[in-house]
Chains A and B, each alone.
Chain A
């Protein structure tokens, strides 16, 4: 449905040439919920705006539903109003001089003559019903709450039944509770309508809960693309592991190469650990172990040293309600663990930290 090839965007800033996007390739199948995730300034919004046609790329090709909408080599630039898209802006961009109904009717009216009054009214009301705003149709748009404005923006974006829906951090202006509800609502809605959706966010939770595919971006490039569980469970780079969820990083050196399941051994300052090695790792390569806080267990120090363990000492514990966070000092680093809230540990306890082999991944340093 959407194909982006070797997209580059550069512009002249105060400090000279700035490369906002450097060679992005994306292919999105019909009906997919695709998320661009990354910290601010990573180029995710710029990529989205190129897709909308609001920004002019410096190179590459973009096609939507088989139609080339931008191509640097062919000199094609289809303006935004001729692209079959709907978009929700971070600021919602609700037109203050129009009421709720007219805001939604705007895209339909711009398809001049295609609908008669009755059809138009029906379509607008259907869209408003989908976002549960049907009783507010006559209200001046500025009199809506933040959450309602957000839904109004969504209704306006889908009323034309576009092939592609673009969402630019639509939830970032909502309070936490509302954000949680709206996440599910948006995903349900676009899935029901089978609209191919591109979603931009810096919030990992939004990305993980809503997406079919996540592309993590950093400095104008996609560093990893995959399903939410892939991205979380098998980060390919330290940046991804760090940005999504929280991770412990332990430096080490490969001592034994991978056997069948990709498991090898790595020597760290606190002991030798078995883990999944990155592809192509050779003996003596420097690697970094990625350990998720919730994956590790604590074994009492007097338990026999079986399995995959490192020795350490508890330096702090913090009761969080649904978990206990515990910091364990190793020889050269401190591990953060997320344990069951009933775990009884106190500062100074000597412990063994158990690392499940299948969840313990090494990355090339």
Chain B
């Protein structure tokens, strides 16, 4: 389950099934065997990259040996499963994961729905700022956001807690399920907001007006008509957010692990990284299988809801401008709510990073501290040889991952959408499969895969390439969905006109498809870039030392060692850079329509 956009995915999938099955027009590509040859090669590659790691994940879950490399037929068995299911810890995991995921979703969805309703249906002031500001919170990596809240609300060092203690109030403990729910909930808001706004916008206001004509006042119209009509949409958005909350590793990793509060994603990571005993990877796999089952169920539920929602007739697609509800005096509390959200989700985290990065040790703000402001942390970070390596590694990873995601997705989608290759359905399913697999599980699957590759002489474990491959494979689910719908939009005649104008297929790709798909290429590229920079799960699992240490892993390790000021300095630069990239992503045309949701 890469956090790609589900609505998009389901729509593209349904568009595909409508367009693809029985195209009456045969393609001339049918006859030449060269075409079939590259189709087959592509299928083989995708089977290798998606199918093999997942196979290792499943087989590994039966392995009773401690290390993946020791796996053999003789030590396969059900003992991992027996152990996992009989362990009380597992039930605790279920409990924690459910509370955390549902809590975060409920919290995030409530805020997002309120924000969306306020900007779309009321006369709240400062709408432009809300439309611009709420999506910008996407730029904040989950890891940094969680760290920011540690700096604010850790019982020991948290700045707010220290302030509370001064006035004799009990400190708030961010290292708790509640803390995880709060931070992850905040992080879910922008995506939910971006999914809900078009939903509200496409609702025919005549339905609400009819209620008003029938004598219903604002409140009962909102309750009996608007909310009821939005219920299927809200449900879909809710399940989608649940998927995201389930998948995320960084937030429970920073806020839960130090307090021994584990959810599935962090537990699987922890099993492989115990210092006290030899890790049993097989057990991690067995746990991962349950986690995957959980995730797959949510994905299936989501697809079902989306399919139902499409039959729902409230979405008219006509550009009505609904009557705005006059909030009167309540405009100001409403505006305050929006401001509070922005404050908590981006302003405060950024400010605390900035503050910490400018001091040599963390203390409550005062005139005295402000006089001690220094850029020393930035200098220290800039001279850190590890940071330089990590930056280069990250850059390398961005370029390789984003480029290969774009190209691989493009070729896969070309076959899925445009060819009559018998295997295109399999290709479509395989490419989509990573969507349902949480990042940490994907990392685990690739760990096994690369270790096994090492066994046959292909030694890429511990290299940057291993992370690039794992990232790319987990991103093609989003990449192919975006490409599928983009290629579907290119009229077949445009392609065929090139053939009859004397352009062979590869020239047609170069001169027709590439330029026409450029916006999608750029969009997928930036999307992959943002994800590479932000996610820590896969790089942490595949981390093998300085050689493949990327920025997110470096920050994670520095945080572990308590180098908070330096993390602050790196974080400030990183947040600003990501904000700029997010801005480009949105300005480049991916901020409109349904693609926007993909920016999560």
Indicate whether B504 reaches chain A with its CB closer than 8 angstroms. yes
A91: which B residues are within 8 A, CB to CB? Answer: 491, 493
A117 within 8 A of partner (CB): no
Complex alpha-carbon distance, A111 and B501, angstroms: 9
Known: A49-B25, A106-B503, A111-B502. A93 touches B497 (CB 8 A): yes
Q: Please report the C-alpha to C-alpha distance between residue A55 and residue B26 in the assembled complex, in whole angstroms.
A: 5
- Is B507 interfacial (CB-CB < 8 Å)? yes
**A355 to B494, alpha carbons, bound, how many Å?**
52
What are 17 A-B interface contacts by the 8 Å CB criterion? A14-B22, A52-B500, A53-B28, A54-B25, A56-B26, A80-B499, A80-B500, A81-B505, A86-B501, A89-B493, A93-B493, A93-B496, A93-B497, A95-B494, A156-B501, A157-B500, A160-B501
**Using a CB-CB cutoff of 8 Å, which residues 22-49 of chain B contact chain A?**
22, 24-28, 30-32
Of the candidates A55, A160, A166, the one whose C-beta lies within 8 Å of that of B502 is A160
Complex CA–CA separation, A45 to B503 (angstroms): 22
A interface residue count range (under 10 / 10 to 19 / 20 to 34 / 35 or more):
35 or more
On whether A14 and B21 interact (CB within 8 A), knowing A81-B504, A110-B507, A160-B502, the answer reads yes
Select which of B28, B497, B498 is within 8 A of A55 by beta carbon: B28
Q: Please, which residues of chain B bring their CB within 8 A of the CB of A53?
A: 28, 499-500
A106 contacts B498, C-beta separation under 8 Å: yes
Contact A13 B22 (CB under 8 A): yes
CB-contacts of A13-40 with B (<8 A): 13-14, 18, 20
Which residues of B sit under 8 angstroms from A13, Cβ to Cβ?
Answer: 22, 24
Give CA–CA (A92, B499) in the complex, Å: 14
Interface residues in A89-112 (C-beta closer than 8 Å to B): 89-93, 95-97, 106-107, 110-111
The CB with the most chain B CB atoms within 10 A, among A52, A80, A157, A160, is that of A80
User: Which residues of B have CB within 8 Å of A83?
Assistant: 500
Q: CB within 8 A of B28: which of A11, A14, A56, A85? A: A56
Rounded to whole angstroms, the CA-CA distance of A53 and B29 in the bound complex is: 10
Q: How many Å lie between the Cα of A96 and that of B516 in the bound state?
A: 8
B residues apposed to A, CB below 8 Å: 21-22, 24-28, 30-32, 491, 493-494, 496-505, 507, 511-512, 515-516
Interface residue? A192 (CB, 8 A): no
Which 3 pairs, one residue from A and one from B, show the smallest C-beta to C-beta distance?
A: A93-B493, A93-B497, A107-B501
B-facing residues in A53-95 (Cβ within 8 Å)? 53-56, 77, 79-83, 85-87, 89-93, 95
Q: Is the CB of B28 within 8 A of A79?
A: yes
Nearest chain A residue, comparing its CB with the CB of B503: A110
- Tell me the smallest distance from the CB of A91 to a CB of chain B, in Å: 5
Do B30 and A81 have beta carbons less than 8 Å apart?
A: no
Answer whether A95 and B21 are a contact pair too, CB < 8 Å, given A54-B28, A54-B496.
no
List residues of A whose CB falls within 8 A of some B CB. 9, 11-14, 18, 20, 49, 52-56, 77, 79-83, 85-87, 89-93, 95-97, 106-107, 110-111, 153, 156-157, 160, 166
In the docked arrangement, what's the CA distance between A111 and B496, Å?
17
Decide yes or no: A95 and B512 within 8 Å by CB, A55-B25, A80-B496, A81-B503 being known contacts: yes
- For chains A and B in complex, what number of residue pairs have CB atoms within 8 angstroms? 95
Beyond contacts A81-B503, A81-B504, A97-B516: 15 other A-B pairs, Cβ-Cβ < 8 A, are A9-B26, A12-B22, A56-B28, A77-B31, A81-B499, A87-B500, A89-B497, A91-B491, A93-B493, A93-B494, A93-B497, A95-B498, A106-B501, A153-B497, A160-B502
How far, in whole Å, are A14 and B498 apart by their CA atoms in the complex? 29
Separation of A68 and B512 alpha carbons in the complex (Å): 29
Please indicate the chain A residues that have their CB under 8 angstroms from the CB of B497 in the complex. Answer: 87, 89, 93, 95, 153, 156
CB distance from A90 to the nearest CB of B (A): 8
Q: How far is the CB of A157 from chain B (nearest CB, A)?
A: 8
Closest to A86 in B: B500
Across-interface contacts of A85 in B (CB, < 8 A):
500
From A9, which residue of chain B is reached at the shortest CB distance?
Answer: B26
In the docked arrangement, what's the CA distance between A86 and B502, Å? 9
Counting chain B CB atoms within 10 Å of each CB, which of A90, A107, A157 scores highest? A107
Beta-carbon contact of B504 and A79 below 8 Å: yes
| A110 CB contact (under 8 Å) in B24, B25, B502, B516 | B502
Alpha-carbon gap, A310 to B409, bound state (A)? 73
Partner of A93, one of B26, B30, B491: B491
Nearest neighbor of A87 in chain B, beta-carbon distance: B500
Q: Is B501 a contact of A77 with CB atoms below 8 Å? A: no
Assembly CA distance A55 to B27 (angstroms): 6
Chain B residues with Cβ under 8 A from A81's Cβ? 498-505, 507
